[in-house]
Structure formats: C-alpha cells, structure tokens
Amino acid sequence: MQDWIYYDSKTGNVDRFVHKLKAQTGWFVQRITEDLSVSQPGHLITFTTGRGEIPESTAKFMQQNATFIKSVSASGNRNWGLNFGRAADIVSTLYDLPVLFKFELSGSMSDVQQFINKINEYHEYHGNEESHYC
C-alpha cells in the first residue's frame, strides 16, 4: 500500500523530515499549496507557529481537504513546553483526527522510523476503512 503524506513547512524542518521519510519508504509526499485539492486519503504533517497555533496555510488546506486526512502530526520545538507540536492537537480537536506523532525540528532518523511504525500501526488498527474518505 502506498501512503500519501501531505505536509506544510515554513522553515524547512518538516520538508527535511518528509524527504527523509520518502527516502526510507517511497511514500508519496505532497507539499501543501494554496490551491491544493487532494483526491487521495493521506496523513498530514504540519508545523506549529506563534504560541502553539496552526499555520494559516494548514488551516486553509484542512478546510478544503479534511475528509481525506486520516491523522495529523506536527513538528515543534521542545523549548515551547506545553505548546510543543500543539498544531497537531488543535487540528485533532477541530477535525476529530488522531495525533499520530510529534517530533522536534526536522526530526532524527529515529523519529522517522517511529513515524513509519505509527503509520503501520494506524493501518493495522484501522484496516481498510478508507472507503468513507472517497
């Protein structure tokens, strides 16, 4: 099964994480753009901005494409304390999605492997429930 990863990146941290992920798995990765309309179910990776807020670009993407998103993950900085990766928590609450993973900055190779494991666990738990996303 090929997974789709939709991602938003401002400083390049999420971009670097996603490209490490793609190199390990061959999964499809698509950077969020203002006019992106998706047709494949996938997982969202975003970043946290401000004081633990969702980036405006991620918010717009979710308004248009939420029905295709199966989980949310976020990059952050542990120096932000409780706001670390908080964008994932907010998206999770707004769209009733599981928070799959949070990683610091661009993530380590260990983080990439943990994310892959989380995606695989998601599929084991949810099976092929993808029909309601179409």
The Cα 102–Cα 87 span in angstroms is: 10
Domain 4-133 has CATH 3.30.420.40: no
The predicted pLDDT at position 128 comes to: 54
pLDDT of 74-131, one tens digit each? 998 888 878 889 999 999 999 999 999 999 888 889 999 999 999 988 888 877 554 3
Q: What is the mean pLDDT of the chain?
A: 88
Rounded to the nearest 5 degrees, what angle is found at the Cα of 113, between the Cα atoms of 85 and 98? 45
- Which has the minimum average pLDDT: 29-33, 61-65, 127-131? 127-131
Cβ burial of 132 (10 Å; 0-12, 13-18, 19+) is exposed
CB 100 within 8 A of CB 115: yes
The predicted pLDDT at position 7 comes to: 96
Comparing CA positions, the residue from 2, 6, 17 lying closest to residue 69 is 6
The Cα 122–Cα 40 span in angstroms is: 17
Percentage of the chain modeled with pLDDT above 90 = 63
Q: Where are the domains of the chain?
A: 4-133
Q: Strands 42-47 and 28-31, how do they pair?
A: unpaired
